[in-house]
Amino acid sequence: MPAPALTTESPAIEVAGLTCGYDGQTVLKDISFTVKRGEIFFVIGGSGCGKSTLLRNLIGLNAPLAGAVKFLGRSFTHADLAGRRAMLKTFGVLYQGGALWSSLTLRENVALPLEEYTPLSPREVGELATLKLAQVGLTGFEDYYPAEISGGMKKRAGLARALALDPSIVFLDEPSAGLDPVTSRKLDELVLQVRETFGTTLVVVSHELASIFGIADRVIMLDRGEQGIIAEGAPRELAERSRDPRVSDFLHRGDRPVPAAR
Amino acid sequence: MSAPDTPARADAAFADGILTVQLAGDWSITGQRPHWPAALAGRTPQRVVLGGDGLGQWDSSLLLFLFETQQWCRIAGVHCDTKALPEKIHALLRQMSTSHETSVPFDRSENFFTSVGDATIDVWRKTKVFAHFIGECVLGVARLVKHPRKFRWADFVEEMQLCGAMALPIVSLVSFLVGVTLAYTGAIVLRQYGGDIYVADLVGLSMVREMGALMTGVVLAGRTGAAFAATLGNMKANEEIDALETLGIPAVDFLVLPRLLALGIMMPLLAIYANALGILGGMAVSVKVLSIPPTAYWVEMLTIVDLSDLLVGVIKAVVFGLIIGLAGCLRGIDAERSAAGVGRAATSAVVTAILLIIVADAIFAVVFDILGL
């Protein structure tokens, strides 16, 4: 897989004037941002600020109320059915709980997109699925069912499935949620390794500070009241320089509160 | 990975027993790629040298080609030189070889004795779960009698609406059509003996004693029993039942009894309603096809159907309702914690309920015959 792309190429993701919501209720209003190729980009913010809504709109599970999303310079929002299906191959998604198909083994889970989209023979599909699972540290668990493995393993298997088609972009929804710090750090290392090896662009929806400061190149912070982006930049820079109390409170959440004097 | 700009190539040149393969172009997993046998083209090299000077974008499809090449070289005892390839490819290739060697298929096959043993243990486990569940239900009823204010009356009323009032349309349709079918079938035989009027007896007696309760039972087994199993199965998968247990609230009191009692009450009411609709269906056929006046049909029916018949139907309906409720709730509570498990629980609830309803119906037939009812 090629190294991260040159700056002259179109960005991995371009979001322009995106408004999203449900049942006539607007959650995010007129937001725009760009994700460079090979970047690890975090979408952060408190609960209910619209992180997951934004993700669902980006990956086409919900239609935006207004605005457009472009992947690698091509419009995803306004693509016709065939174009949209072709573009689905350019990105993979790791869902919060892994979202593995419970009736399939891990190998079959990873193999399904390969069978659907590639001209590979069944033997090659099996070999590649085994490799993908090995890349996320699941060698020996290929024939296990999702119900037989732990939560952290499910996430890793979900990542292997998201990487099955060697996508240019991978979306990760709360990858660290529900994981212990060690497993969470291993998953972060895996994200870095994926970028390093494949030059993949990774968009991570999270509010785990350790992950944000550990692996994010750039973040955008969403706010429920503003219904939009209130900060954008490198996480350390935002933590040190932002004068917005919502941003600094969020990014310094790890500090131990000082007990009130009695 | 984006669509390739230039197609993937493996240009092979053979000289002095050395096959030099230059890999070039963009390699994409979703597109076509060269295969090793084509590059080899039947030649028998002593050594294979791989180079990647013309490589553009590449992904796992290149790894598959290289892995295929390496496997062939290993089997043929030919040295494979990959030094000219980028280090990143080496690392991935090593990972692929390792995963291929260390991946051991997980053998799930069982011999005959293991299968029989597992099935026996499963039957024993299910019997224990069933006995425990029935015991819990009995204790739950005792707790309800002792502390009626603690009972979930709101849930009970809601369940009555869900399994009773909401089932009226489907019960109406099925019962009416069963009455129509019985009348048509009876007319075929009775007409031959000039006994058209006795269609009223046949339909009335069949509906009140048998078909009203039975058809309502089958409909509710599919509609309500499956819903009970799916709801409780999902609650188990979401650890909602565990949360009740850890709070010291018996899941049976909270979830099962309101459903069970709701069905126990609504089933006989629905069965009586089904009887009426079935009789109406029979009457419609008699009036339209057999030219029997509605009054004559009604009077004739009352000569054979009495309150004891109605009682028989109601008793059956109560028991069928409890069977449906028990089967649905038991399968739901005993469901595996997965989407497939919930599906299996719903299916099993319907099959169990219908099977037990038919068995119970046969037992009732014998018992009522002995009792002279």
User: Pairing between strand B9-15 and A228-233?
Assistant: unpaired
Q: What average pLDDT does this structure show over B320-340?
A: 92
Contact of A178 with A98, CB cutoff 8 Å: no
Q: What average pLDDT does this structure show over B340-345?
A: 91
In chain B, positions 145-204, which contact chain A (CB-CB < 8 Å)? none
Answer yes or no: do B339 and A144 touch at CB < 8 A: no
At residue B156, the pLDDT reads 93
pLDDT in tens, chain A (262 residues): 444 444 457 899 999 999 998 877 899 999 999 999 999 999 999 888 999 899 999 998 888 999 999 999 999 998 998 888 888 888 999 998 888 888 789 999 999 999 988 999 999 999 999 999 998 889 889 999 988 898 889 999 999 999 999 999 999 999 888 788 888 888 899 899 889 888 899 999 998 888 999 999 999 999 999 999 999 999 999 998 888 888 988 888 655 666 665 5
Answer yes or no: do B338 and A146 touch at CB < 8 A: yes
Q: Does B340 touch chain A (CB under 8 A)?
A: yes
Contact of A38 with A90, CB cutoff 8 Å: no
Q: Check pLDDT > 60 for residue B346.
A: yes
Residue B153 tokens, joined: 């009356």
Nearest to A90 among B2, B98, B339 (CB): B2
Answer yes or no: do B99 and A119 touch at CB < 8 A: no
Q: Check pLDDT > 90 for residue B213.
A: yes
At residue A259, the pLDDT reads 67
| Ramachandran region, residue B266 (left: φ > 0; alpha: ψ -120 to 50; beta: rest) | alpha
- Find which of A102, A104, A196, A201 to mutate to test the B interface (most B CBs within 10 Å of its CB): A102
> Model confidence over B142-176: pLDDT tens digits?
999 998 988 889 999 999 999 999 999 999 999 99
At residue A3, the pLDDT reads 40
Domains of chain B by range and CATH? Answer: 9-102 (3.30.750.24), 114-371 (no CATH)
| Residue B345: Cβ within 10 Å count | 26
At residue A1, the pLDDT reads 44
Answer yes or no: do B337 and A166 touch at CB < 8 A: no
Q: Check pLDDT > 90 for residue B337.
A: no
At residue A2, the pLDDT reads 44
In chain B, positions 20-59, which contact chain A (CB-CB < 8 Å)? 28-32, 56-59
At residue B4, the pLDDT reads 55
Q: Which residues of A192-210 are buried (b: 16+ CB within 10 A; e: fewer)?
A: eebbeebbbbbbbbbbbbe
- B172 by Cβ neighbours in 10 Å (0-12 / 13-18 / 19+) ranks as middle
The answer, yes or no, to whether ipTM is higher than 0.85 is no
User: Pairing between strand B18-25 and B9-15?
Assistant: antiparallel
Nearest to B95 among A103, A135, A147 (CB): A135
Answer yes or no: do B106 and A130 touch at CB < 8 A: no
At residue A147, the pLDDT reads 85
Contact residues on chain A for B63, CB-CB shorter than 8 A = 128, 131
- Find which of B5, B26, B30 to mutate to test the A interface (most A CBs within 10 Å of its CB): B30
Q: Does A135 touch chain B (CB under 8 A)?
A: yes
At residue B108, the pLDDT reads 77
| Residue B16: Cβ within 10 Å count | 7
| Residue B227: Cβ within 10 Å count | 19
Contact of A159 with A136, CB cutoff 8 Å: yes
> Model confidence over A215-231: pLDDT tens digits?
999 999 999 999 999 99
Paired with A232 in beta bridges are A220
> Model confidence over B305-322: pLDDT tens digits?
999 999 999 999 999 999
Q: Does A109 touch chain B (CB under 8 A)?
A: no
Q: Does A45 touch chain B (CB under 8 A)?
A: no
Answer yes or no: do B339 and A102 touch at CB < 8 A: yes
Q: Does B125 touch chain A (CB under 8 A)?
A: no
Q: Does A87 touch chain B (CB under 8 A)?
A: no
Geometric angle at alpha carbon A49, from A46 and A53, rounded to 5°:
125
- B99 by Cβ neighbours in 10 Å (0-12 / 13-18 / 19+) ranks as buried
- Find which of A118, A150, A161 to mutate to test the B interface (most B CBs within 10 Å of its CB): A118
- A48 by Cβ neighbours in 10 Å (0-12 / 13-18 / 19+) ranks as exposed
Nearest to B2 among A124, A140, A168 (CB): A168
Sign of CA dihedral B314, B315, B318, B319: negative
Whole-structure pTM over 0.95, yes or no? Answer: no
User: Pairing between strand A25-35 and A13-22?
Assistant: antiparallel
Three-state SS for chain A is CCCCCCCCCCCCEEEEEEEEEECCEEEEEEEEEEECCCCEEEEECCCCCCHHHHHHHHCCCCCCCEEEEEECCEECCCCCHHHHHHHHCCEEEECCCCCCCCCCCHHHHHHHHHHHHCCCCHHHHHHHHHHHHHHCCCCCCCCCCHHHCCHHHHHHHHHHHHCCCCCCEEEEECCCCCCCHHHHHHHHHHHHHHHHHHCCEEEEECCCHHHHHHHCCEEEEEECCCCEEEEEECHHHHHHHCCCHHHHHHHCCCCCCCCCCC
At residue B208, the pLDDT reads 95
Answer yes or no: do B1 and A90 touch at CB < 8 A: yes
With cut-offs at 50, 70 and 90, classify the pLDDT of residue B101.
confident
Widest CA span in chain A: 72
A71 → chain B, closest CA residue: B2
Q: How far is the alpha carbon of B175 from chain A, nearest alpha carbon, in Å?
A: 38
Match 């089967």 to its residue by tokens: B327
Q: Closest by alpha carbon to B133, among B251, B304, B301?
A: B251
Domains of chain A by range and CATH? Answer: 37-49+90-251 (3.40.50.300)
Answer yes or no: do B337 and A117 touch at CB < 8 A: no
Q: What average pLDDT does this structure show over B202-206?
A: 95
> What beta strand segments (E) does chain B contain?
9-15, 18-25, 47-55, 79-81
